[in-house]
Amino acid sequence: MSKKEELEKLDREILRLISRRAGLYVEALRNLPPEEAFDAGHRGRTFALIDETDASPLTPEIMKRLYLEIFSGCLAAVSPVTVAFLGPEGTFTGIAVHEFLGESIVALPQRTIQDVFRQVESGAARFGVVPVENSTEGSVTYTLDELVETDLQILSERYVRITYSLLSREQESASIRKVYSHPQSLGQCKGWLRANLPGAAMEAVDSTSTAAEMASREDGSAAIASSNAGALYGLTTLATMLEDSRQNYTRFFLMGKGSPAPTGSDKTSIVCAVQDRPGALLALLAPFSDAGINMMRIESRPDKKKMWEYIFFIDFGGHRDDSLVRDALGKMRRETVFLKILGSYPAGG
C-alpha cells in the first residue's frame, strides 16, 4: 500500500470515528437539561487526556482546538449557541467567546457588561462572556458589581493573552493627534504612549472595537485595539506589541445557568461580607487554612448599599461539592452577614 493510499484509509477511519463520537455526544447533550449543556467537566477530561498524549507531532494546543470545534458543532446541532458579550465585534472579549465555545455560535455583541448579564438572565442568550480582571490593571469593576446581583453562575474561565496594535487610516505615527481606546487598554499601554505619542490626546471609549470604528472615520486619529479590529475596519497597523507588560493577560468568565460537576481540578468563587468586629476577617479566612484549601485571590470592594462597609471577592481551590470545601463554607457562613457562591468551575489556563 502506498503512502497516499494509507493516508486515505486513515482519513476514512478518522472521519468515521469523528462522526460516531459526534453522534454519541449529541445524543448525550439532548438528554441533559439546557442549563447543563455546557459540559465543562467533559471538556476538561478530554483536554487532560490530550495533555497526557505526547506521541503526536501536533501540539496539545492544536489538538484542543480541533476538539473544541467538535464540541462547538455538537452543541450547535442540539440548539443554537447564542452568546452575549461585550461588543462590538473585534474586541478581546469577542476573541474569548471563541476560546470558550469555538466557531459554531451566534454572537450577540452588547454595549455594556450589564447588558450581557441581562441577555442571559432573560433567556435571550444561552451564555455570556465578560472580562473579570487584567494582570496589570486589576479587576473590571463593572463585572464584579454584576456578579453580586446576578443569579447566573460562572461555568468556566479562560486567560487570554492581550496584545495591542496601533491602528489608523494614517500611514505613519507622526500624523496621529488623538488615540481612542478602552480605559483599561490605555492604562496597559501608558508607557508606550508616553514614549512614542507624547503629544497625542487620549480619549476613552466603551471598547477597543469602538475605538477602531472611530479611528476609521476620523483623520489624524488612531485606536489601540486588537489586530482583529484593525482587519474588521480596514485600518493600517502602525505598531504592534504596545502593552507595557509582556505578561499581559485578561481573565474572562463564561456565565450561564446551572453548575458544572466536579472535575478534580476546580476553582470556586464567592462574594461575602463580614461582621463589623475585630478579627472578623481572620475568622472568615481561618477555615481555608484549617482545611488546607488554597486561597488564590481576595479582593475588597465598597458595598454600594452601605457607606464605608466592604464586601470581599474570594477565589479558592476546590469544588462546592467537595466535602472539605462544603465544611469550610459552612464555617464561613457563621462569620458573615451574607455569603454567595458565584460558581464552582474547572480551573482555566
Active site residues: 250, 252
How would DSSP label each residue in 253-322? EEEESS-PPP-SSEEEEEEEEE-SSTTHHHHHHHHHHHHT--EEEEEEEE-TTSTT-EEEEEEEES-TTS
What does the angle CA 257 – CA 258 – CA 263 come to, to the nearest 5 degrees?
130
Q: Minimal CA–CA distance to 313: which of 299, 328, 295, 325?
A: 299
Bridge-based pairing state of the strands 138-139 and 106-110: unpaired
What residues contact 189, with CB distance under 8 A and at least 6 apart? 164, 181, 224, 242, 243, 244
The residue to which cell 484549601 is assigned: 293
36 DSSP assignment: G
Identity of residue 283: A
Identity of residue 102: G
**Cα-only R_g, the chain:** 23
Bridge-based pairing state of the strands 127-134 and 82-86: parallel
CA-CA distance, 345 to 256, in Å (whole number)? Answer: 12
Spell out the alpha helix ranges (H) of 141-297.
Answer: 141-149, 183-188, 190-196, 208-215, 227-232, 280-291
Name the 3-class secondary structure at 225.
Answer: strand
Q: Are 266 and 346 in contact (CB under 8 A)?
A: yes
How far does CA 243 lie from the centroid of its chain?
A: 19
CA-CA distance, 94 to 117, in Å (whole number)? Answer: 15
Q: What is the largest CA-CA distance in the chain?
A: 80
Bridge-based pairing state of the strands 178-181 and 201-204: parallel
